[in-house]
Chains A and B, each alone.
Chain A
Amino acid sequence: MPRGKYAILAKKIRKSFGKLEVLSGVDLRVERGTITALLGPNGAGKTTIVRILSTLLKANSGQASIEGYDVVKDADKVRGMIGLTGQYAAVDEYLTGRENLRMIGQLYHLSREDAAKRAEELLEQFDLVEAADRAAKTYSGGMRRRLDLAASLMARPAIIFLDEPTTGLDPRSRLAMWDIIKDLAKQGSTILLTTQYLEEADLLADRVVVIDGGKVIAEGTADELKARVGKERIELTFATDKDLQKAAELVKAKLIQTDEERRTMSVAHDGGVRGLRKLLETLSDGKVHVEGLSLHKPTLDDVFLKLTGHQATVKTGEGEKE
């Protein structure tokens, strides 16, 4: 019984482990039938949010609901609507792919026949038919991840949580996983996925929620986020400190960051040739000698740098932020 347009709602979620505050008041809204990406570095609290929403963990305060059902009070109702694929593929090592799926189906209280039928569908869909009779411990990382995802889809959940679905996968398996996720969205599922990769969020998500240090620090479409960093980033290298300082002065408006040690600076760039030429003209008019130049697509680091002033890969505690 859908209520309103949001399938997932979280308000002011706080969670601490001992003295360590992992979530400090997270709000989250996921519209039904859309993909939302929780983007953030390791330790940002992404997995903790997913664990709270999927009833595995209790928040210290705040409220979360799935389709209007409270994740604590109506945990069983919630469990009947969600599918969870964790960071570590939770499949049974000794059982075959087919046995794994049938078992999960029966535990979702499908009839034996329905479980068997659904297992075959998913084996087919996830390209696991050939491996279906092999023990899961013989599977590659990508196959395991697909089996894990298939298991969470046995009961056709309306809402799917994917916790870092492609972390640790080789590029080919990652592409395959992306296709699967896009298909799920097309079939109308509501998906909340966590990721460390801006590229992944960009490609899959309708909406991106950036989280850092247990807080939502930005949200919007991937394009909106990237617009804040610029389409591309130009990295300039200088021969002398004086050149670096002068250049930083000249392009102040678009400057993202300077690195005095390496005598480099990053400048936001719209991707066009004209902008590049204009930048170089500005610098040569100012008599600055540029030693090297390279172009970069914006990364999560850039978004983070822009939004928080620190690198995504660097873990910072509360209060250290600017």
Chain B
Amino acid sequence: MKTKLYWAFADAKVLIWRSTMHILKNYDQLLSAAFMPIMFYLLFRYVFGGAIETGGPAYANFLMAGILVQTAAFGSTYTAIEVTTDLQRGIIDRFRSMPMFSTAVLVGHTTADLARNTISSFIVVLVGLATGFRPTASVVDWILVFGVLMLFTYALSWLMAIIGLLAKSIEAVQWLTFVLIFPLTFASSAFAPTDTMPGVLRAFAENQPVNQVIETIRALLIGTPIGNHGWLAVIWSLGILIVSIPLAGYLFRKHSSR
């Protein structure tokens, strides 16, 4: 007799496969996940970049950390869309009527998102390297960059799963994720240094979680001072995970037994 835990993992594996197939078979989503960050990178690198004073590093070097985190943040919103779509199409009802670990649906979407975001990040780094991005990072630094980025993406995806469970429609998902992600990525040092921002905004921008991740990755990539950013980035990511996984699980189960 196999244990409950064994089957929970088995179910998660099947549903990770399912979500991965969604990524591979949904060409429009795949292309938008690949092109969006490249467009943003090129926009800031060439359109705004010349006018932005970084107070040190060349803009191509300064920008990369912000673009990587923005890619991860935008990429995580697909989890919310997938969860809402599943609820609307009724396939979650099917899973729930089966003797399986149906919360694994969420594990499937968040984990597949992680894979897609990793690929998107690689693409962005390659485009960067081709257009003047010159990192000083060692191999260990690179491993840490992707480690921090993946941990943060995974945390955001679980947050997005919660939005997906709460939203009543795809349109609602779109504005909810926009309202959450947009200020967190732009009110930060992602695209411009924070020291020209007005007081309150600056205080928010410098202390909010996304900025900790950006500063950590920037420090690892081009050697800017890391300060406490590294620890704070990890603590924030783990904190979000610890809160959002049980909350998403709770909302998922509650959804079923109204």
User: Would you call A29 an interface residue if the criterion is a C-beta within 8 Å of the partner chain's C-beta atoms?
Assistant: no
Q: Which residues, 91 to 138 on A, are CB-close (under 8 Å) to B?
A: 91-95, 99, 103-104, 106-109, 135
Among A56, A90, A93, A135, the residue within 8 A (CB) of B256 is A56
Which partner residue on chain B sits nearest A92 by CB separation?
Answer: B91
Query: Taking chain B's interface residues, is the majority helix, strand, or loop, or is none over half, making it mixed?
Result: helix
The residues of A that contact B258 with a CB separation of less than 8 Å are: 17, 57
Give Cα A104–Cα B100 distance, bound, in whole angstroms. Answer: 10
Interface residues on B, range: 20 to 34
Among B15, B94, B100, B257, the residue within 8 A (CB) of A58 is B257
Among B90, B96, B98, B256, the residue within 8 A (CB) of A108 is B98
Among A57, A80, A86, the residue within 8 A (CB) of B94 is A86
User: Would you call A310 an interface residue if the criterion is a C-beta within 8 Å of the partner chain's C-beta atoms?
Assistant: no
Cβ of B84 to closest chain A Cβ, rounded Å: 14
Give Cα A92–Cα B26 distance, bound, in whole angstroms. Answer: 12
Known interface pairs A92-B18, A94-B25, A106-B14; A80-B97 also in contact (CB < 8 Å): no
Per-residue 0/1 for B62-99: is the Cβ within 8 Å of any A Cβ (1 yes, 0 no)?
00000000000000000000000000011101111111
Query: Taking chain A's interface residues, is the majority helix, strand, or loop, or is none over half, making it mixed?
Result: loop
Pairwise interchain contact B21-A91, C-beta atoms closer than 8 A: no
The residues of B that contact A108 with a CB separation of less than 8 Å are: 98-100
Among B7, B21, B22, B93, the residue within 8 A (CB) of A86 is B93
Pairwise interchain contact A99-B98, C-beta atoms closer than 8 A: no
Known interface pairs A57-B258, A58-B257, A108-B99; A90-B25 also in contact (CB < 8 Å): no
The residues of A that contact B97 with a CB separation of less than 8 Å are: 54-56, 79, 82, 84
Give Cα A103–Cα B257 distance, bound, in whole angstroms. Answer: 25
Among A77, A84, A103, A135, the residue within 8 A (CB) of B18 is A103
User: Would you call B215 an interface residue if the criterion is a C-beta within 8 Å of the partner chain's C-beta atoms?
Assistant: no
**Size of interface on A: residues with Cβ below 8 Å to B:** 33
The residues of B that contact A152 with a CB separation of less than 8 Å are: 94
User: Would you call A76 an interface residue if the criterion is a C-beta within 8 Å of the partner chain's C-beta atoms?
Assistant: yes
Q: Which residues, 94 to 149 on B, are CB-close (under 8 Å) to A?
A: 94-100
Which partner residue on chain A sits nearest B11 by CB separation?
Answer: A107
Known interface pairs A103-B14, A109-B7; A90-B90 also in contact (CB < 8 Å): yes
Which partner residue on chain B sits nearest A88 by CB separation?
Answer: B90
Known interface pairs A17-B258, A56-B256, A103-B18; A90-B100 also in contact (CB < 8 Å): no
User: Would you call A208 an interface residue if the criterion is a C-beta within 8 Å of the partner chain's C-beta atoms?
Assistant: no
Pairwise interchain contact A86-B14, C-beta atoms closer than 8 A: no
Give Cα A95–Cα B25 distance, bound, in whole angstroms. Answer: 8
Give Cα A19–Cα B225 distance, bound, in whole angstroms. Answer: 60
Give Cα A86–Cα B95 distance, bound, in whole angstroms. Answer: 12
The residues of B that contact A51 with a CB separation of less than 8 Å are: 93
Q: Which residues, 39 to 81 on A, are CB-close (under 8 Å) to B?
A: 51, 54-58, 76-77, 79-80
The residues of B that contact A151 with a CB separation of less than 8 Å are: 94
Pairwise interchain contact A107-B14, C-beta atoms closer than 8 A: yes
Pairwise interchain contact B21-A84, C-beta atoms closer than 8 A: no
Q: Which residues, 23 to 81 on B, are CB-close (under 8 Å) to A?
A: 25-26
The residues of B that contact A91 with a CB separation of less than 8 Å are: 91
The residues of A that contact B91 with a CB separation of less than 8 Å are: 90-92
Which partner residue on chain B sits nearest A161 by CB separation?
Answer: B97
Give Cα A82–Cα B98 distance, bound, in whole angstroms. Answer: 8
Cβ of B105 to closest chain A Cβ, rounded Å: 10
Known interface pairs A56-B256, A86-B93, A88-B89; A94-B100 also in contact (CB < 8 Å): no
The residues of B that contact A77 with a CB separation of less than 8 Å are: 99
Known interface pairs A103-B14, A108-B98, A109-B10; A94-B93 also in contact (CB < 8 Å): no
Among A57, A76, A84, A90, the residue within 8 A (CB) of B99 is A76
The residues of A that contact B17 with a CB separation of less than 8 Å are: 103
Per-residue 0/1 for B220-258: is the Cβ within 8 Å of any A Cβ (1 yes, 0 no)?
000000000000000000000000000000000000111
24 residue pairs A–B, Cβ–Cβ below 8 Å: A54-B97, A55-B96, A56-B256, A56-B257, A57-B257, A57-B258, A58-B257, A79-B97, A84-B93, A84-B94, A90-B89, A90-B93, A94-B26, A95-B18, A103-B17, A104-B94, A106-B14, A107-B11, A107-B14, A107-B15, A109-B10, A109-B99, A151-B94, A152-B94
Q: 6 nearest interchain CB pairs?
A: A90-B90, A79-B99, A84-B97, A90-B94, A80-B99, A94-B25
Residues of B that sit less than 8 Å from A by CB: 7, 10-11, 14-15, 17-18, 21-22, 25-26, 89-91, 93-100, 256-258
17 more A-B residue pairs beyond the given contacts A82-B97, A95-B25, with a C-beta to C-beta distance below 8 A: A51-B93, A56-B256, A57-B258, A58-B257, A76-B99, A79-B99, A86-B90, A90-B90, A94-B25, A103-B14, A104-B94, A107-B11, A107-B95, A107-B98, A108-B98, A135-B25, A151-B94
Residues of A that sit less than 8 Å from B by CB: 17, 51, 54-58, 76-77, 79-80, 82, 84, 86-95, 99, 103-104, 106-109, 135, 151-152
